[in-house]
Amino acid sequence: MRLILKWLLSAIALLAVAYLYNGVQVTSFGSALIAAAVIGLLNMVVRPVLVVLTLPVTIVTLGLFLFVINALMFWAASGLFGGFHVNGFGAALLGSLIYSLLGLVIEAALGGLFSKR
C-alpha cells in the first residue's frame, strides 16, 4: 500500500514541478505516473552505479556532484518517455531539485502515516 501511495504522490509531485517550472512539461496524469515509475527505476538501478563510478568527483566537490547525477537521472527519464519532457540540463537540474524537495515532503508524510507503533 505504501509503495502505491508513494508512486501516486510522486506523480502528483511531478505534475507540481511541471506547474511550478516551465522547463518541465508533463502531458497528463497518466504520463506523470509512467514518468514517476521511470524516474524511480532509474534511481534504483542506474544511480547507484553512477554514484560509485563518480565517487572521487563527489568527494572533491563535497557531495555537490550528486545534484548533477540527480539531474542526469531526471533528464534521462524524459528521454526514455515521450509524455514527459525536460528542456535541457539546466531545466533538469532545477526540476530535479524541486522534485527532490517534494519527495522529501512525501517521505516525511508517509513516514508519519505508516509509522510502526
Render pLDDT for 35-44 as a digit per residue (tens, 0 to 9). 999 999 999 9
Query: 34-38, 57-61, 112-116: which range is least confident on average?
Result: 112-116
First to last CA, the chain: 17
pLDDT of residue 117: 57
Locus of grid cell 506547474: 19
Burial class of 12 by CB neighbour count within 10 A (0 to 12, 13 to 18, 19+): middle
pTM higher than 0.75? yes
pLDDT of residue 66: 94
List, for residues 18-54, the tens digit of each pLDDT value: 999 999 999 999 999 999 999 999 999 999 999 999 9
CA atoms of 94 and 101, how far apart (whole Å): 11
Instruction: Give me the torsion for CA of 39, 20, 22, 13, rounded to 10°.
Output: 20
CA atoms of 116 and 21, how far apart (whole Å): 36
pLDDT of residue 111: 81
pLDDT of residue 1: 81
Q: Sorting pLDDT into bands at 50, 70 and 90, what band is 109?
A: confident
Beta-bridged to residue 85, according to DSSP, are 25
Please check the confidence at residue 114 and state whether its pLDDT lies above 80: no
Beta pairing class for 84-86 and 24-26:
antiparallel
Beta-bridged to residue 84, according to DSSP, are 26
The answer to whether 14 and 84 are in contact (CB under 8 A) is yes
List, for residues 69-94, the tens digit of each pLDDT value: 999 999 999 998 888 999 999 999 99
Domain spans, the chain: 2-113
